[in-house]
Amino acid sequence: MIIIDGPAELSGELRVQGAKNSALPLLAAALLCKGQTVLHNCPDLSDVNTALAILEQLGCRCRREGHDLTVDSAMTSWEIPEELMRGMRSSIVFLGAMLARCGRARLCFPGGCELGPRPIDLHLSSLRRLGVNIDESGGWLDCSAPQGIQGAYVSLAFPSVGATENLILAAVCGTGTTIIANAAREPEICDLCEYLNRCGGRIYGAGESCVIVDGVKELFGCEHRVMPDRIAAVTYMAAAAVTGGNVTLRDVDNTHILPMLAPFEESGCEVRQLGGCLNIMAPRRLGAVRHIRTMPYPGFPTDAQPVVMSMAAVGRGASVFVENIFENRYRHADGLSRMGASVKVEGKVAVVEGVERLTGASVEAADLRGGAALVVAGLAAEGVTRVGAAEHIRRGYEGLCGCLADLGARIRETEL
Ligand code: UD1
């Protein structure tokens, strides 16, 4: 449980962690690169630990020293046990890497945040196009590529981040050329391709909607620095915004922040970006964030919607949210309402009427980003807020409470 004694006024400087959503596919990629990979700036998170447990289960040796992770790659098993698969949805990216490394994989359907139905049909249908046989029975996937991975033209019905990563991982050591049309363009895809290319891969067009992968025989591990976490950055920006704060973030990639700037500017914050730093100065009372529509990159990211809703909750005026990516992504609305926010949800639309002040309450994190949104709201609320099920938050934020306490918040984490 996270306990916050609000309201806070945040000020100071903070280093932003490496990106969870980049570290996970990079660790899967380390499996298919022979020899040693060293990942710098790798955040210390429970999801990263799950990925390491998967790598060790498959035969790799992994070592952590601070934020540096060393993976000595080897593959002695092609099965991922059920408890590791159910621990997080992104464990599905190991499928492409395992197929590329040894042509076999057995795993069950993945778990993860409860954001509504999160199918993997696109992953499976596109891998089938690359010559993978997939047998689905009893919740298990038995996959094999008897002829190896065969390059092909694949057009994704939706630019899924995970499916794009899986396809790239599978195709990078395949035979011939794979063309991925309507690929996801998220910066994490670019980070993955940059690493793979440095290991000997031939991937072109990462960050654009058509990615071309020329298969190579083998890849050799190298050193790579995980990109900064753009969602952690926007979470700290939202925390500064709701508390009338003045915060400087270090280790930020400012180009990745651009698609998320509009609600900060709309609500009256002053954001200055210089090199790898970002400074945000918030007014005493925020304005409305007005209109947020979540879209694939470079649109506004669904992962940033919950924390920006906490800003809308205390902004002057009404804001409208349209969630286009996940069906069940307003589970923080209930907690915000308990704290006195006015949020009306109807299907994929939420209307938020900003109130002058939230009041501390006991609430529950239903998922990772929704949990972070409740912490942000708790910083703005009068009195004590208790956010239960904080393990969801630990999946994606390294030392959230410590970072916020360093900026002046009265916040601590307790085991129940
Ligand atoms: C990744 C991110 C997650 C982020 C999401 C969208 C990681 C570890 N997670 O998740 O934080 O919220 O991108 O930016 O990087 N879909 C299908 N069939 C599929 C795959 C996806 O219908 O086979 C649908 C999903 O249900 C969802 C949408 O496509 O509605 C987006 O999913 P996707 O881009 O695949 O998200 P993830 O890779 O799971």
Model pLDDT for residues 350-384, shown as the tens digit of each residue: 999 999 999 999 999 999 999 999 999 999 999 99
Determine contact, residues 199/222, Cβ cutoff 8 Å. yes
- The CB density around residue 220, as the number of other CB atoms within 10 Å, is 13
Cβ of 37 closer than 6 Å to ligand 1, yes or no, is no
Categorize the per-residue pLDDT at 113 as very low, low, confident or very high, splitting at 50, 70 and 90: low
Higher pLDDT, 111 or 238: 238
Q: Are strands 210-214 and 33-40 parallel, antiparallel or unpaired?
A: unpaired
**What pLDDT does 48 receive?**
96
Category of 162 on φ-ψ map: left (φ > 0), alpha (ψ -120 to 50) or beta = alpha
> What average pLDDT does range 283-310 have in this prediction?
98
Determine contact, residues 309/343, Cβ cutoff 8 Å. yes
Pick the residue whose CA is nearest to atom 11 on ligand 1: 303
Instruction: Report the residue among 27, 113, 123, 161 best suited for mutation to probe ligand 1: largest number of ligand atoms under 8 A from its CB.
Output: 161
The terminus-to-terminus CA distance of the chain in angstroms comes to: 7
Q: How far is the CA of 161 from the centre of ligand 1 (A)?
A: 6
Atom of ligand 1 nearest to the CA of 297: 14
What's the mean per-residue pLDDT of the chain? 96
Is-catalytic flag, 113? yes
Tokens of 353: 């009427």
Atom of ligand 1 nearest to the CA of 24: 8
Of 46, 77, 81, 43, give the one whose Cα is nearest residue 60. Answer: 77
Q: What is the CA radius of gyration of the chain?
A: 21
Atom of ligand 1 nearest to the CA of 124: 23
Q: Does residue 319 carry a pLDDT above 90?
A: yes
Distance CA 304, CA 238 (A): 9
Q: Of 42, 60, 113, 199, which one is the catalytic site residue?
A: 113
Distance CA 127, CA 180 (A): 11
Q: Does residue 111 carry a pLDDT above 70?
A: no
Task: Return the top range by mean pLDDT from 117-131, 137-151, 182-196.
Answer: 182-196
Backbone angles phi, psi at 363, to 5 degrees: -135, 175
